[in-house]
Amino acid sequence: MGYTISEKILLAHTGKKDIKQGEFIEAKVDLALGNDITAPLAIEEFKKSGFKKVFNKNKIVLVPDHFAPAKDLKSANQCKILADFAREQAIKNYFEVGCMGIEHVLLPEKGLVSPGDLAIGADSHTCTYGALGAFATGVGSTDLGRAFIDGKCWFKVPATIKFIYKGKLKKWLSGKDLILYTIGKIGVDGALYKAMEFSGSVIRRLSMDDRFAMSNMAIEAGAVTGIIEPDEITLDYIREVHSSQSTVHRRKQKPWTVDRGRWTDLKSDKDCHYDKIYEWDVSDLEPQVACPHLPSNTKPVSSLKDIVLDQVVIGSCTNGRISDLRISAKILKGNKIKPGIRLIVIPATQKIYLEAVKEGLAEIFVKAGAVFSTPTCGPCLGGHLGILTEGERCLATTNRNFIGRMGHPQSEVYLSSPAVAAASAITGRITHPEEL
């Protein structure tokens, strides 16, 4: 019996000769990530252990992004714990305000995750890096603290569900629509502790930004990771990133990484076992919107024309990349948002922020009546820069819409693509871009 791509990566990090689904393994990690909410707990556990030095100062990444720039004294103290620990341990990949960004956009941008890597992060959306062909998954702060000690973590080898997308996407459709459609089909527990493997002709034509959006939301179906076989699009992305990041720490390449321009074995075997296989033709798919209060409560945008909004947020680790801002600006250019609507646009990193300024996107947003913010997770988790009060309704390009996610438990959050979000800010209600 062959192996899935996820099983191959896990096996390569164990030193074992074989593994099987459901088996508990101890594996070496290539990267251990923490943020301003989760890393302080991991640092506390590390210090309790009595160890003085982390396992590898170049394989730990610390990003204060959730409440940064610090919104209050408590968040300032959290960020200081990261800064102090990074200085004590000489951790190279610590990103302070001014060079930080939303972690799951920042790390690929910095070339810190590569195909075939095993990456853990004390944040559930660490699964984002599966878009690069890495096995990336969220862990608890205690697991992260242990990884700081010896670079290892325990895993249960997950079964894999394969998703095959056929056809050709219509205009305005994106990876966000595909993943919302998928979660709507299988439910928030439809891939519980499984690996979601995205494939098919539609996936092969997707940009990296759209692939990141899909892998990012695998956790919203309960998955341990959402992985895509690396191809030429992946390779082009990696080459571009590495050519622009001369100071980034480079790990020794694995045998399967880049070999004469291709990956030699980083794909699922033909005789591997899949727990389930879903196959959909998405040619007639229209933009999807997740209604309160679950990402699985999805409906086509055309069925939600009467939903009036108070706020629109474009950003997050799901949809705060430059292509997301470009398509939003394309729709907003020459238009004004509806009076009474708050539009908050958040580029995910400083690099994206600067690109948006240079390309004139920031000017378009501001002239349309939006707020153009520094990078932060802010409103996504109800942290700051966009908290909802009782009875308010928000359409966001974020990844979760649980009760109270953005503030008051009596507020409502809808999830959509940037195209739908931008169009909706203009009309003040959930709107298909074609309606403009």
Query: Which domains are seen in the chain, by residue range?
Result: 5-248+274-280 (3.30.499.10), 289-435 (3.30.499.10)
What confidence tens digit (pLDDT) does each residue in 25-67 have? 999 999 999 999 999 999 999 999 999 999 999 999 999 999 9
Confidence of residue 1 (pLDDT cuts 50, 70, 90): confident
Distance of alpha carbon 274 from alpha carbon 280, whole angstroms: 17
Alpha helices by DSSP H, 120-275:
141-150, 175-186, 201-205, 208-216, 232-244
Confidence of residue 257 (pLDDT cuts 50, 70, 90): very low
What confidence tens digit (pLDDT) does each residue in 206-227 have? 999 999 999 999 999 999 999 9
What pLDDT score does 8 carry? 95
Confidence of residue 88 (pLDDT cuts 50, 70, 90): very high
What pLDDT score does 91 carry? 96
Dihedral of CA atoms 224, 108, 147, 27 in degrees, nearest 10, equals: 60
Distance of alpha carbon 334 from alpha carbon 324, whole angstroms: 18
State the average pLDDT over residues 390-406.
96
Dihedral of CA atoms 38, 40, 42, 48 in degrees, nearest 10, equals: -160
Distance of alpha carbon 327 from alpha carbon 213, whole angstroms: 15
What pLDDT score does 427 carry? 98
Tokens 């998954």 map to which residue?
Answer: 137
Of the listed ranges 97-111, 125-139, 246-260, the least confidently predicted one is 246-260
State the average pLDDT over residues 395-408.
96
Given a cut of 90, whether residue 332 has pLDDT beyond it is: yes
Of the listed ranges 2-6, 54-58, 111-115, 244-248, the least confidently predicted one is 244-248
Q: Are 388 and 408 in contact (CB under 8 A)?
A: yes
Distance of alpha carbon 436 from alpha carbon 431, whole angstroms: 8
> Could you tell me what percentage of the chain is helix, strand and coil, using 3-state DSSP and rounding each to the nearest 5?
35, 20, 45
- Minimal CA–CA distance to 213: which of 188, 182, 190? 182
Distance of alpha carbon 219 from alpha carbon 216, whole angstroms: 7
Confidence of residue 194 (pLDDT cuts 50, 70, 90): very high
Q: Which two tokens stand for residue 315?
A: 């950003």
Percent of the chain with pLDDT over 90: 89
Q: Are 279 and 164 in contact (CB under 8 A)?
A: yes
What pLDDT score does 114 carry? 92
Alpha helices by DSSP H, 24-161:
39-48, 73-89, 103-109, 141-150
What pLDDT score does 251 carry? 47
What pLDDT score does 255 carry? 44
Tokens 């699985």 map to which residue?
Answer: 296
Axis crossing angle, helix 418-427 with helix 322-332, rounded to the nearest 10? 30
Distance of alpha carbon 237 from alpha carbon 223, whole angstroms: 25
* Mean pLDDT value across the chain: 93
Non-local CB neighbours of 94 within 8 Å, separated by 6+ positions: 61, 62, 63, 82, 83, 86
- Minimal CA–CA distance to 367: which of 425, 431, 417, 309? 425
What confidence tens digit (pLDDT) does each residue in 261-303 have? 345 578 999 999 999 999 999 999 999 999 999 999 999 999 9
Alpha helices by DSSP H, 169-284:
175-186, 201-205, 208-216, 232-244
Cα angle for residues 187, 317, 424 (degrees, 5° grid): 75
Strands 288-290 and 298-300: antiparallel
